[in-house]
Amino acid sequence: MELRAHNDQVVSRLQEAIADKVGPKKYNVWFKGSTAFTLADGFAQVSVPNQFVGAWIERHFCDTIRDEASKLAGKPLDVVFTIDPALTKNLRKKQPDSQVAYASNNPERVARQQMKIGAPPPAPVPKRSFDDFVVGEANRLAHTTAVSCSERPGEQFNPLFIHGGCGVGKTHLLQAICNKVKELHPNRSYRYISGEDFTNQYIFAIKMQELESFRHRYRNVDVLVIDDVHFFSNKRGTQTEFLHTFNAIDVAGKQLVLASDAHPKMISHLSESLVTRFVSGMVVKIESPDYNTRAEVLRQKARKMKCDLPEPVVEYIAEHCKANIRELEGALYKLVALASVHKQPISRSLAVQGLKDLIERTTSVVQLSDIETVVALYFGLQPADLHTSRKSRTIALARGIAMYLARNKTDLSFPEIGRFMGNKNHSTVLLACRRIKKLVDEDAVIRWVTARGEQMTNVRAVLSELEEQLGNARRA
């Protein structure tokens, strides 16, 4: 029995409940054809076609999914996300464009909604702690500096800038810092927010003429923690405002902690003033987890889920799922659900059979996601821009280079690359790869347009820099 086919009636009711809560327009854009649901022991699994869709749904609709799934199950459920590239086949032709357009316009929409309700949304509540963070060689330095910042905020490693690929533990450390500060220094204040929410609140403050209130909120805290600062790329107004915020906190000797998918110098269209300040403190990278770390993560998660996970199964999953923590958790959740569906204990044979498709696809998908993120950051775009059918010079060039790197750095076919990048057909990918190869053979200079005007660089130099970043992100 297919995992997604389990209990079709319950899943159908969940889909109807979500559609009723979020409205038909949002449901058609983000859920219809983009998701598949499974309810199993203690959790609701949401399968998505790629990280862009998954990240958006997780950020904006996770609470709705959790509430409705818990109602149907009659008990609290956790929500987990896994990537299933096969879902790209179900996307309607214009759906990726609709998703990107919706995401791109969201800051203004949020601002308009906030104007109606008269206040910005509450800051997210940090839930993670250092106690449930598994330390290994790949993240030991990041963990050590994070603990130090929480114990003695503002005294050293200031600012602390943590970067690394998706799902390696950056957000976990940021939230753990906040909770440790709250525990050790109850009289000190902290604020935890994402780069996107900081931007949205800044827009709202301008429209409502409440800049002073906004500035007081962020410049008078003892510890300011901002996730996904690469969202500031190409947003000059936000960058200027954050630069002043940074300076105010720094002068006051307070602590700044930042996280991004890329090193500060690799975030394109970030002002030199911000880059200089970001690298003036401690910049530390979290690598992909090594085997021992992956195995311990699985053991810890199994204990939390109160499931019996035999050591041969731990070894099998840890050996084959190497990219990040989310990949490991997704494999474990699927295995637990399979055992529940088939009413049999978890075993190595079940893992080999049940995770075969996931393991075959995951290696290339994660690598392609890394390529997409690195290329988008370099050209000052959001990864979502590469999914559109827009053909501006910058987007077309970035998309072409991403496809070229994907073809040369992964085992994916032209159709698979095309499906991942906005459901493009194989001929689009083929022609893009040929075009970039021709530029490389000619040692050509490429040009693209940004908010700061036209940029021009040798194509081989661009590819070399991108490949270096991908090499740093290569899994253990």
What's the CATH number where 65 sits?
A: 3.30.300.180
Q: Is the pLDDT of residue 115 over 70?
A: no
Q: What is the pLDDT of residue 141?
A: 95
CATH classification at residue 435: 1.10.1750.10
Q: With respect to residue 186, please indicate whether it lies within any of the assigned structural domains.
A: yes
Task: Compare 59 and 88 and report the one with higher pLDDT.
Answer: 59
Q: With respect to residue 348, please indicate whether it lies within any of the assigned structural domains.
A: no
List all residues 6 or more positions away from 99 whose beta carbon is below 8 Å from its beta carbon.
Answer: 29, 30, 34, 52, 53, 56, 384, 387
Instruction: Note whether 266 and 401 are same-domain residues.
Output: no
User: DSSP H helical segments within 90-166, as ranges?
Assistant: 95-104, 106-117, 140-151
Instruction: Note whether 131 and 235 are same-domain residues.
Output: yes
Among the three residues 286, 301, 327, which one is the final residue of a domain in this structure?
286
Q: With respect to residue 263, please indicate whether it lies within any of the assigned structural domains.
A: yes
Q: Report whether 236 contacts 451 (CB < 8 A).
A: yes
Q: What is the dihedral of CA 180, 185, 188, 189, to 10 degrees?
A: 20
Instruction: Note whether 75 and 177 are same-domain residues.
Output: no
Instruction: Note whether 230 and 371 are same-domain residues.
Output: no
Instruction: Note whether 98 and 195 are same-domain residues.
Output: no
Domain count, the chain: 3
Instruction: Note whether 271 and 142 are same-domain residues.
Output: yes
Q: What is the pLDDT of residue 245?
A: 95
Q: With respect to residue 379, please indicate whether it lies within any of the assigned structural domains.
A: yes
Burial of 118 (0-12, 13-18, 19+ CB in 10 A): exposed
Q: Is the pLDDT of residue 73 over 70?
A: yes
| CA–CA dist 298, 318 (Å, integer) | 8
Q: With respect to residue 265, please indicate whether it lies within any of the assigned structural domains.
A: yes
At 211 the three-state DSSP class reads: helix
When the pLDDT of each residue in the chain is averaged and rounded to a whole number, the result is 83
Q: Is the pLDDT of residue 357 over 90?
A: no
Which two structure tokens, joined as six digits, stand for 426?
């194989």
| Full domain range(s) for residue 237 | 123-286
Instruction: Note whether 161 and 222 are same-domain residues.
Output: yes
Instruction: Note whether 82 and 16 are same-domain residues.
Output: yes
Instruction: Note whether 139 and 279 are same-domain residues.
Output: yes
Burial of 122 (0-12, 13-18, 19+ CB in 10 A): exposed
Report CA-CA distances (Å) from 418 to 51, 100, 366. Answer: 15, 16, 15
In this prediction, residue 322 has a pLDDT band, given cuts at 50, 70 and 90, of confident
Instruction: Note whether 89 and 127 are same-domain residues.
Output: no
Q: Is the pLDDT of residue 368 over 90?
A: no
Beta strand pairing status for 445-450 and 453-458? antiparallel
Q: What is the pLDDT of residue 101?
A: 67
What mean pLDDT do residues 347-370 have? 74
Residues of 295-317 as b/e, b for ≥16 C-beta within 10 angstroms? Answer: bbbbeebbeebebebeeebbbbb
Which two structure tokens, joined as six digits, stand for 229?
């600062």
CATH classification at residue 194: 3.40.50.300
Which two structure tokens, joined as six digits, stand for 316?
């099998």
Instruction: Note whether 83 and 132 are same-domain residues.
Output: no
**Does the bond joining 159 to the residue before it have cis omega, within 30 degrees of 0?**
yes
Task: Compare 344 and 119 and report the one with higher pLDDT.
Answer: 344
Q: Quick: pLDDT tens for 192-208.
A: 999 988 998 998 888 88
